[in-house]
Chains A and B, each alone.
Chain A
Amino acid sequence: SQQGEEDPQALSIQEGENATMNCSYKTSINNLQWYRQNSGRGLVHLILIRSNEREKHSGRLRVTLDTSKKSSSLLITASRAADTASYFCATDAGPRDMRFGAGTRLTVKP
């Protein structure tokens, strides 16, 4: 069963705009991770945020975590066509168990 749920399911924006994706989960977690997947290929790890962290940055990526609301958001600033992909959040539903959400399909139009 899936732990996280991303919102929206699909997002279409113009190059240069910001993209925000949200993830909600059900159980307590130790950490939450975001991954990107280009069509039909393997996933690429983007960022990991631990349950005692509220915000984390990596380049054009900004991730926030609100454990009281059991939610996280991924912000991609100044998007590029190459950012077109599916984005997944993954939580450690514990013990030693990772679960992925259904993903947000992001399309960045040039």
Chain B
Amino acid sequence: KAGVTQTPRYLIKTRGQQVTLSCSPISGHRSVSWYQQTPGQGLQFLFEYFSETQRNKGNFPGRFSGRQFSNSRSEMNVSTLELGDSALYLCASSLELAGAGKQFFGPGTRLTVL
């Protein structure tokens, strides 16, 4: 089985712009979770989608949003980018809801905001 893929792998944007990141889960996985990783804050949970529905959301502003399609692929959007949004964005897929079992992580998208 192919692993979790994320595109693009690297991205450079400027403040005020918006960005869309994509995640393709492992075939058959219905849960996709997104995380932000920074040196200062560590790994922080953004949100989780299961069967096209957002099941849980972390403590992030409304500029961060996401969606999941019927084929379980997920996109994450960040609007009005700020310097502090520079981070490694990781998505993870699982058969069950996050926390209930093993998650498989993608390689991440490294976002740099200038």
Interface residues of A (CB under 8 A from B): 1-2, 30-31, 33, 35, 40-45, 48, 88, 91-103
Interface residues of B (CB under 8 A from A): 4, 33, 35, 42-45, 48, 50, 55-56, 58-59, 88, 90, 92, 97-108, 110
CB distance from B49 to the nearest CB of A (A): 11
A-B contact count (CB 8 A): 70
| A43 CB contact (under 8 Å) in B44, B56, B105 | B105
| A92 CB contact (under 8 Å) in B44, B88, B100, B104 | B100
- Could you tell me the distance between the alpha carbons of A74 and B57 in the complex, rounded to whole angstroms? 29
- Could you tell me the distance between the alpha carbons of A9 and B102 in the complex, rounded to whole angstroms? 24
Chain A residues in 8 Å Cβ range of B58: 97
CB distance from A99 to the nearest CB of B (A): 6
A97 near B88 (CB under 8 angstroms)? no
- Could you tell me the distance between the alpha carbons of A47 and B108 in the complex, rounded to whole angstroms? 21
